Structures are given as C-alpha cells and as structure tokens.
Structure 1
Amino acid sequence: MARHGRWWGFGLIPALITLVGYVAAMAVLIVYAGDLASWATPFADDWAEPWRDIVRVTVGAAAVGMGGLLAMLTFTAVTLLIGEPFYESLSAKVEETEGGGPQGPDLPLWRELWIAAKDSLAVLLRAAGFGIVLFLCGFIPVVGQTVVPVVGVCVSGFFLTVELTGTPLQKRGLAQKERLRLLRSRTGLAVGFGAGLVLLFLIPVLTVLAMPGAVAGATLLAREIAPHEEPAEEPSDDDRSPVDGQDGQDGQNGPGSPYPYPYQQPSANPYQQPHPGEAGQGWQ
C-alpha cells in the first residue's frame, strides 16, 4: 500500500463509511443511555433516590460499554461487507502485481453480497462461541488474567484472517469449510497475521488507516497457502512436430504437408494401400 497511494486511498472509503455510521450509532446510544436504563429497570422506580440513580447509571454505562464492544467485534465484518466491491478490486490489483490470479465466478453484486454476509455471520457465530468459553475462563484466578487474554487475541486473530482472506480464497473456488480447513493447516501463519491486526485494530482510527493494507496482506497470504496456476494451453495444429522425423517436404507428412498427422498420404490408386513398415511403398 505504501507503493500504491491511490489504492490505499481507494481502500479507505468503506472503512470511513463504516466508522461514520458506528460513531453516529454510539452517539445516539450515549444520548439515550439514561432512557434505556430507565426502560430496562422499571423495578427501581419506587427505590430511594441514591440507589435508583446508582443502578440506572450502572445499567446505562454497561449498555454503552456493550455497544462499544459490539462495535469493535463487528467493525471489520461490516467494513468488508460494505466494501465488497472496493476490496475485491483492491485484491485483484494485488494479484495482478504478483503475477495474476483467478478471475473467480461471474456473479451479480447482490449475490456476492449475500454470500459475503452469510460467510461473515458464520464466522461471527464461531468467534462468539469461543468468546463465551474464554469469558467464562476469565474467572479462573491468575489464568483468567494472564493466559486467557493472550489466547483471546490469538483466536480473534485467526477468525480475522478467515474474514480477510475470504475474497481471494473464494475466487479460487474454495467454500468456507475448505477455507477454514486450509487455514487450520497453516495455523501459525494465520494466527500470526491476524493477531497483529487485532492489536492494531484496538485503536479505531488505525483500524480505518490499516484496512487497505490488511486486505492486501490477506491477498498475499492467500497466494501463499493456495497458489494459483494458469492452465496449460494445448498446442495447436501448427505447433505439432513432424511425424517420424519427416519434414513435410516432397509430399511427406509434416507441418508443410496437407496431411500433418501420423498417417501416409492416400495413394492415387484407391485400391493401393500403404505397406506397413515400408513408408510410401504400396501393395495391390
């Protein structure tokens, strides 16, 4: 991306759109957090003033915190969904600079968005399952404060890599189960790539700035684990070599003959057939 500034600017557009939408949603949530807390705690209407306020402030703060956490978890998926046409073009540019890649199936835009949404939802559900387990493990003394956060970053990194490599691997004809299997076979590479991005994406502004580079890096990773080979072209008739050392001259078979394939020219006598083993010699 540093060598292609225009691509980088092009790739910023979806992330900026997503960031503006998320900031607006968070602003609305913060403004109406008090009303939301009052709606969620009708049982506290008759409580004394200090306790009612403490409960509702706590509920409002928890709602804002959950909204921020949800925004962090879904930002990449939503950005990839909004920016599907942008990032597909960016990935194709990266493939082109590296020697070319598959064209992929020719699908309408709505069909590509539908497939991307289904794949993102499946990845999000898998990540949520691991997240629940890790959340419960966080209550284990010592381990929950040391090991679990590291494992959480690694798990998040793996699933972030699954998200980012979806477009280039899908172009190679790989369904999501096959993509997961392929990335699990290179777990170190997938986790190493994604974990660094997870730590970088903890800062919202850097998430926007780094997204084009993340897409380009994911394309290079896809080329690493699933190389694309151009199909070999079959030789045309003009490229066929002469048969049995014949050069096509003097009526012999070859590229210069109207009969370039491995059989003798027909005899002028329709009853005369070539003798096997004596090229050009006939027998009645």
Structure 2
Amino acid sequence: MKNFLAGARTLGTGFGLILRSPRLLLIGAIPALLSAVLLLGALGSLLYFSGDLVAAVTPFADGWSDWLRQAFRLIVGVALVGAAALLASVSFIALTLLIGGPFYEHIAEQAEQRLGLDTSDDGAGVARQIGRGVRDALKLVLIAVVGALVLFALGFVPVLGQTAVPVLGAVFGAWVVALEMVGLVFQRRGLDVRDRRRALAGNKASTLGFGLPTYLLCLIPVAQLVVIPAAVVGGTLLAHRCLDEKTS
C-alpha cells in the first residue's frame, strides 16, 4: 500500500506542477484535444454502423428465431463497442503522445528541471528520438489491440465477463498508460519498450498507483486535457525512480 500511494503521489505532483503553470497546461492540452476528437469521432461512427457491422459478421444467425437472433446480435454489438472503447481508452495516450511528442518532451524537460532530476540523454539527434517515439507508440498500440481482443473474448464468458473482465480491463489500461507515460524519459536514454516493461515490473505497486487513477481520470471527457499534461510530469518522476532503483 505504501508503494501504491507513492505512485499515486507522482500523479499528484504532476497536477500541482501543471496547475501552477498555465503555459505548460495549454501546451499539453492541445494534442489531447485533437486525439479526443479523432477517437470520439471513430467511436461514434462505429456505434452508428454497429448494427450493420454485427449483421455482416454474423450471417449464420439469419435463420435463427427473431428473439434469439436479436439477443445474440445485441450481445455481440455491446461487446464490440465495449472492446473498441477499451482499445480507444488505452490507445488514447499513445496517440496523444505521438501527435504532441515535442510538446510533451518540453513538459518533461521542464518537470525534470523544476524537480531537480537528471536531464541527461544518450546524445541521439531529434530525428532519431522522433523515430524511437513512433516505433514505440506502434508497439504499444499493438499491445493494446491484443489486450482488447483477449478481454473482448473473455467478455462472452458467463459471470466472468460481467464481473472480473471490467476489473482486468482497468488494470490492463493502467499498465499500458504507465508504459506510455514513462516513455519520454526512457526514449531519451536509448531504452525501448522492453526496458520499460522490466523496470515497471520491478515496481508493480507504484506503477499501478500511478497508472490506475490516470487511466480512470482519462475516461472523463474534458478532464483529459488536464490529466494528460499532469500524467506526463508524474510519468517522468516515476521513470526516474525506476531508473534510479535499477542503477543503484
């Protein structure tokens, strides 16, 4: 519990720094707004066409009785939209960081300076760092897709799908969010997604303490505009703690 609360405090530190710096808040809010518009538009389109899509992928149900066919397709439709919403929620930060990479890099650097953290990197140029960011973002989206598909399948299991799956979805989302948010520091030091996974695996409680409230707050419309910049600061602090433990 102590480490969990320590992880949560890193997000609190991020909120404190961002809310005292309106300029950093504005810089961080713009990419988050763009990502939210894109993903909400995609989800809205999926919801609008979900009936036709479900009917197209379940032609075998055409000969069933009306009530059974409608009930089955309703369950499939709800599961499909739910999986898409989970995928959007865990991909939101990856997309936001990809769109606003230079903005969030600036926020992370400002956080390091104000919090007295090490600002060194591996000396790679800007182009190489951007390439790392794109590559890592694609890997994280792939992880999110695989996780969403697994949870989508588990959603059809009676009882388990209605009880454990929502909890597993939140924990999975928190883990992916933490992987994404520590990335700016790890990338500057030439470390990839595998290094992040190993570092966070050694700090599970702190990672969950940071990732879970970040993930849940990102589900609230508009709040994302403040949460993402604050989480960039919190993720920067968490990354330094993980790296310091690794090298000590």
TM-score range, shorter chain: 0.7 to 0.9
2:109 is aligned, of 92, 98, 119, to 92
Query: Following TM superposition, by how much is the alpha carbon of 1:97 offset from its aligned partner in structure 2, in angstroms?
Result: 1.8
Moved more, 95-104 or 132-141: 132-141
Query: Following TM superposition, by how much is the alpha carbon of 1:62 offset from its aligned partner in structure 2, in angstroms?
Result: 4.0
Which residue number in structure 1 is paired with residue 47 of structure 2? 30
TM-score, normalisation: structure 1? 0.65
Residue deviations 1:89-135 (CA, integer Å, cap 9, x gap): 111111222335125544344x4444223323434445666663897
Please show how residues 1-284 of structure 1 align to structure 2 within 5 Å: 1-43=18-60, 56-99=73-116, 101-109=119-127, 111-126=128-143, 132=150, 136=154, 145=163, 150=167, 153-226=170-243
Query: Following TM superposition, by how much is the alpha carbon of 1:43 offset from its aligned partner in structure 2, in angstroms?
Result: 4.3
Aligned residue pairs, count:
225
Query: Following TM superposition, by how much is the alpha carbon of 1:81 offset from its aligned partner in structure 2, in angstroms?
Result: 1.5
Give ranges in structure 1 of 5+ residues lacking alignment.
Answer: 228-284
What percent identity do the matched residue pairs reach? 35
**Quick one: higher RCO (CA 8 Å, sep 6+), 1 or 2?**
2
Query: Following TM superposition, by how much is the alpha carbon of 1:165 offset from its aligned partner in structure 2, in angstroms?
Result: 0.5
Query: Following TM superposition, by how much is the alpha carbon of 1:217 offset from its aligned partner in structure 2, in angstroms?
Result: 0.9
Q: Distance in 2 between matches of 1:30 and 1:152?
A: 20
Query: Following TM superposition, by how much is the alpha carbon of 1:45 offset from its aligned partner in structure 2, in angstroms?
Result: 5.2
Residue deviations 1:107-166 (CA, integer Å, cap 9, x gap): 344x44442233234344456666638975995978x836x7556544432332121011
Which residue number in structure 2 is paired with residue 274 of structure 1? none
Query: Following TM superposition, by how much is the alpha carbon of 1:213 offset from its aligned partner in structure 2, in angstroms?
Result: 0.1
Contact 1:45 1:52 in 2 (8 A): yes
Look at both structures and tell me which one has the larger radius of gyration over its CA atoms.
Answer: 1
Residue deviations 1:201-251 (CA, integer Å, cap 9, x gap): 232432333000000111122233335xxxxxxxxxxxxxxxxxxxxxxxx
TM-score, normalisation: structure 2? 0.73
Moved more, 64-73 or 42-51: 42-51
Contact 1:158 1:194 in 2 (8 A): yes
Q: Supply the RMSD in Å over aligned alpha carbons.
A: 3.5
Secondary structure of the residue aligned to 2:119 is coil
| Amino acid corresponding to residue 20 of structure 1 in structure 2 | V
Q: Distance in 2 between matches of 1:34 and 1:136?
A: 22
Query: Closer, same or farther in 2 for the Cα pair 1:6/1:225, shift >3 Å?
Result: same
| Amino acid corresponding to residue 77 of structure 1 in structure 2 | A
Contact 2:79 2:155 in 1 (8 A): no
Secondary structure of the residue aligned to 1:205 is coil
Kindly indicate which of the two structures has a greater share of residues assigned to helix: 2
Contact 1:104 1:170 in 2 (8 A): no
Residue deviations 1:44-64 (CA, integer Å, cap 9, x gap): 556666665555555444433
Query: Following TM superposition, by how much is the alpha carbon of 1:167 offset from its aligned partner in structure 2, in angstroms?
Result: 0.8
